[in-house]
């Protein structure tokens, strides 16, 4: 088939012949929107635009979620390390000028420069009060003769399954040991520890791991002496 014949067939396929009353023949071409190539091109363009929008949106969402996740993970990691450093601080007896307690220089090596410092009178003894703040967590350490005589942590929160409920709280009897309570319900979120004349006093607070409330327990020489709760179920 000649090139001329092929062009003629293509023209016939894409056009329509019309004969007027005088016998003249005209070729009426199909509108562009009725041609096959137009719709094929339109479909390709639609898919390309949709893919670009969907891909961009997914990428932005993924990037935002990843950024938030990384930020949360970093805070949790920093706070966990902060807590470990707090737990490592040893408290000495206030009435023995903190003998046996972690020294101020060692605490500063561990925690760095304090956020605030002050002095106050505790049981007639002058003490230095140093506070470190980090990621919403606050550590307060008191020193006498540059040795630790008390420590306190607030704002820290563990991530754990709630199981310390109202029934468990009500079943806590006076004299229950600190270690037994911790073995059942985990370490307290908040903790204050001080030793005066050989008597160790600990106030432990559970904010996480509880059924809808807060629990505060006081231990003297590791034995439960008082308890309070708010909002437990």
| Of residues 143, 226, 220, 152, the one with CA closest to residue 188 | 152
Which residues, listed in sequence order, are joined to residue 133 by a DSSP beta bridge? Answer: 138
> Residue 186 burial (CB < 10 Å; 0-12/13-18/19+)?
middle
Q: pLDDT of 90-145, one tens digit each?
A: 999 999 999 999 999 999 999 999 999 999 998 888 999 999 999 899 999 999 99
Q: pLDDT of 15-33, one tens digit each?
A: 555 555 556 555 555 555 4
Contacts of 98 (CB under 8 A, 6+ apart): 92, 143, 144, 145, 146, 147, 148, 149
According to the model, what pLDDT value does residue 14 have?
Answer: 46
According to the model, what pLDDT value does residue 122 have?
Answer: 86
Share above pLDDT 70 across residues of the chain, in percent, rounded to a whole number = 67
- CA distance linking residue 81 with residue 65, whole number of Å: 24
Name the pLDDT band for 10 (thresholds 50, 70, 90).
very low
Considering only residues 70 and 130, tell me which one the structure prediction assigns the higher pLDDT: 130
Sequence spans of domains, the chain: 3-30, 34-76, 91-230
According to the model, what pLDDT value does residue 39 have?
Answer: 59
Token pair of 129, please?
């009060």
Name the pLDDT band for 50 (thresholds 50, 70, 90).
low
According to the model, what pLDDT value does residue 41 have?
Answer: 61
Give the CATH number of domain 91-230.
Answer: 3.30.1450.10
Average pLDDT over residues 159-177: 94
pTM: 0.68
For 207, other C-beta atoms within 10 Å of its C-beta total: 17
At residue 64, does pLDDT exceed 60?
no
According to the model, what pLDDT value does residue 59 have?
Answer: 53
Q: pLDDT of 135-149, one tens digit each?
A: 899 999 999 999 999
Maximum average pLDDT range among 33-37, 71-75, 168-172: 168-172
């Amino acid at each position: 088939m000649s090139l001329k014949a092929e062009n003629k067939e293509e023209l016939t396929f894409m056009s329509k012949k019309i004969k007027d009353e005088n016998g003249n023949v005209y070729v009426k071409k199909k509108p562009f929107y009725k041609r096959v190539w137009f719709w094929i091109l339109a479909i390709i363009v639609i898919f390309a635009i949709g893919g670009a929008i969907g891909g961009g949106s997914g990428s932005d969402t993924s990037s935002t979620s990843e950024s938030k996740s990384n930020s949360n993970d970093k805070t949790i990691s920093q706070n966990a390390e902060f807590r470990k450093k707090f737990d490592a601080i040893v408290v000495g007896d206030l009435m023995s000028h903190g003998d046996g307690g972690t020294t101020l220089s060692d605490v500063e090596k561990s925690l760095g420069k304090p956020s605030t410092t002050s002095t106050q009178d505790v049981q007639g003894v002058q003490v230095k009060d140093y506070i470190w703040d980090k990621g919403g967590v606050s550590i307060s350490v008191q020193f006498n003769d540059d040795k630790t005589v008390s420590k306190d942590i607030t704002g820290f929160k563990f991530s754990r399954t709630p199981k310390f409920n109202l029934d468990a709280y009500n079943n806590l009897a006076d004299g229950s040991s600190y270690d037994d309570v911790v073995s059942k319900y985990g370490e307290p979120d908040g903790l204050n520890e001080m030793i005066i004349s050989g008597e160790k006093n600990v106030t432990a607070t559970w904010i996480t791991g509880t059924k809808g409330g807060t629990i505060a327990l006081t231990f003297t020489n590791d034995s439960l002496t008082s308890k309070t709760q708010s909002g437990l179920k």
